[in-house]
């Protein structure tokens, strides 16, 4: 029988090794690739492919959202299971919209990752327990489907790119360093920075950093 091929992306090597060890217990699954940041993932899928991608959201360079964007629409693109420390409802909605098939909060059990892989491989969606609860309570709590948070205090207010830049700023990186990391011009980074300061109505980088902390963008 053909095995299910997996690629794992997480910035913590020890996490990757842990997941690999868990997956080794199931003979129908094999890990064929791994990445420590978003750039590596995108690169890998240029010349390789897998059935399923386990994708951490918080990664340096390019994060999970960037990767989703990068892989979206590509032919022979893998089913994607998003891994995240935070099971924010807006984040969940966002990644599903961007083509993810599953969402695992990191507080889920190890075996559930095997379950998740098999489920999304078969074409269905998979959510870990706490994520399911979030979705249900969001559903019952806001029956109209109208956003309670009008101006998307988290994922709507800022564009994806702005969030990228903000995260790196909150990582103590200078504009120059950010430009290098994202492979864009310093001018562009500064533009994003200016827009962020204006949008979030803060005075300087410190305000940006505080916002980032408050909204778990760090």
Partner DNA sequence: TACAGGCTAACGGTTTTCCGTGATATAAAA
Partner DNA sequence: TTTTATATCACGGAAAACCGTTAGCCTGTA
Q: Is 96 in the site for DNA (CB under 7 A)?
A: no
Q: Is 83 in the site for its own copies (CB under 8 A)?
A: yes
Euclidean distance between CA atoms 193 and 199, whole angstroms: 10
| Nearer to its own copies (CB atom), residue 146 or residue 206 | 206
Q: Token pair 């913590």 is at which residue? A: 12
Q: Is 170 in the site for its own copies (CB under 8 A)?
A: yes
- Choose the one of DNA, its own copies, none that binds residue 210, judging by a C-beta under 5 to 8 angstroms depending on kind: its own copies
Give the pair of three-digit tokens for residue 53. 């991608």
Question: Helix, strand, coil shares of the chain as percentages rounded to 5?
Answer: 50, 15, 40
Site pattern 8..27 for DNA (x: CB under 7 A): --------------------
- Choose the one of its own copies, DNA, none that binds residue 17, judging by a C-beta under 5 to 8 angstroms depending on kind: its own copies
- Choose the one of its own copies, DNA, none that binds residue 90, judging by a C-beta under 5 to 8 angstroms depending on kind: none
Euclidean distance between CA atoms 33 and 19, whole angstroms: 12
SS3 of 18-30: the string is HHHHHHCCCCCEE
Euclidean distance between CA atoms 182 and 9, whole angstroms: 18
Q: Given the rule CB under 8 A, which residues bind its own copies?
A: 11-22, 24-25, 36, 83, 85, 104, 106-113, 169-174, 202-210, 213, 218
């Amino acid at each position: 029988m053909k095995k299910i091929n997996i690629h794992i992306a997480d910035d913590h090597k020890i996490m990757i090794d842990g997941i690999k060890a868990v997956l080794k217990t199931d003979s129908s699954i094999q890990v064929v690739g791994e990445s420590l940041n978003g750039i590596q993932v995108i690169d890998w899928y240029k010349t390789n492919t897998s059935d399923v991608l386990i994708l951490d959201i918080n990664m340096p360079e390019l994060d999970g959202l960037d990767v989703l964007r990068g892989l979206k629409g590509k032919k022979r693109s893998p089913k994607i299971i998003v891994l995240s420390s935070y099971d924010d409802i807006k984040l969940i909605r966002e990644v599903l919209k961007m083509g993810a098939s599953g969402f695992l909060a990191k507080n889920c059990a190890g075996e559930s990752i095997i379950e998740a892989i098999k489920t999304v491989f078969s074409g269905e969606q998979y959510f870990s327990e706490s994520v399911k609860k979030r979705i249900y309570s969001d559903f019952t709590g806001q029956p109209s489907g109208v956003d309670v948070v009008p101006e998307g205090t988290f994922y709507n207010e800022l564009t994806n790119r702005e969030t990228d830049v903000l995260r790196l700023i909150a990582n103590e990186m200078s504009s120059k360093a950010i430009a290098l990391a994202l492979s864009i011009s310093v001018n562009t980074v500064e533009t994003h920075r200016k827009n962020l300061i204006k949008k979030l109505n803060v005075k300087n980088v410190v305000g940006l950093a505080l916002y980032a902390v408050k909204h778990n963008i760090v």
